[in-house]
Amino acid sequence: MYYMVIQLPTSISIRIPDDIHEQLEEIAEETERSKSYFIKKAIEHYLEEFADYQLALDRLNDKDDEIISSKELRKRLASRS
Per-residue pLDDT tens over the stretch 9-47: 899 999 999 999 999 999 999 999 999 999 999 999 999
CA angle 17, 20, 25 (to 5 degrees): 125
State the DSSP H helix or E strand holding residue 61, giving kind and residue range, or none if neither: helix 35-61
pLDDT of residue 60: 85
CA-wise closest residue to 34 among 44, 21, 24, 23: 24
pLDDT, position 69: 92
Q: What is the pLDDT of residues 39-71, one digit of tens each?
A: 999 999 999 999 999 999 998 888 888 888 999
- 30 vs 2: CA distance, rounded Å: 43
Q: What's the pLDDT score for residue 14?
A: 93
Beta-sheet strands, E only, within the chain: none
Predicted model pTM = 0.65
